[in-house]
Structure 1
């Protein structure tokens, strides 16, 4: 079972590290694209149309196209740095009774569950001591 997200649940002063897993499996039929003449699956390779070469994933960067063919480039570190804190924390503001939740939210592609992220032995103690030290 793959982890689809790691973060924390936060309510008040309580902060609990969690991992999110998909609660459903995909049993839909998926088709592969095949070469018509020999029935071999076609590989989707990254190629640069300007240089006409195959491009390895290590040689790619993220960019935002602000005007036709003009890009602002971002490193993975820059993208991670600008992510809002909410991208890693689920803040619980209130609780709801089950009948108050629209069944559309239980749709298969969106269904997930959270698992407590187990810290290494003694890690909580170190974090707790560090937080107390910072408060003083």
Structure 2
């Protein structure tokens, strides 16, 4: 696993009069397969405009194959049938595979959140899963395919909603081995310093209110946009209309579902994944019907 220690940014953490210089390092790396276009007649790389990068000539799409570089300058060609055989299937489900304690998931794995809303009369089972997770302090680890890409995700109760937060895969998160960090524990921090720091933190503490934190750059840009629009500098852009996606699903017999799940012998979730029911969701914000295990 790559660790990497190159500093991307240097600055400081500040609170009150405290100033802690820090450097930022990458904590994750993309591990997806990178398909390059190649001219199958000469194995020359092909640009996105179907231009042979060596000859500069445009080539027909029938002469383009997909290759994966495994060494510098060396490729293996993968056929469409071979890609299709291993391509993640679009199941339209959020498949819970394990439940873990909510405090067990490090923040470094979090990537992108989605709200999950019930559809097709699934409110009751949705509420049951939400309340069960909230009361047990658990979150669900699931796999989901969105826009043809499979993701690991965490299903987390948040007030009246369930939130699906896409996660990084385990081999995408780098270790801390290459960083020079002070050892855990008080170390050279004195009791007096720790006491004053705690006091400062308490004085600066308050409730979480997202309205207190605004993107000042965006605000200034939108003010400029409004000013220009009022001055008649706006232009009209027509967008093509799109058909709204259809949603389908089934009404769940919740009691029977729970009984069947419990009759599975109480096996760990990693061996017996939770039952799942498909429901279509938009590629950008999936809203998915859930069956609780």
What's the TM-score bracket when you normalise by the shorter of the two chains?
0.3 to 0.5
Q: Which one has the largest radius of gyration?
A: 2
Considering Cα pairs closer than 8 Å and 6+ residues apart, tell me whether 1 or 2 has the greater RCO.
1
What TM-score comes out, normalization by structure 1 length? 0.36
What TM-score comes out, normalization by structure 2 length? 0.19
Structure having the larger proportion of residues in strand: 1
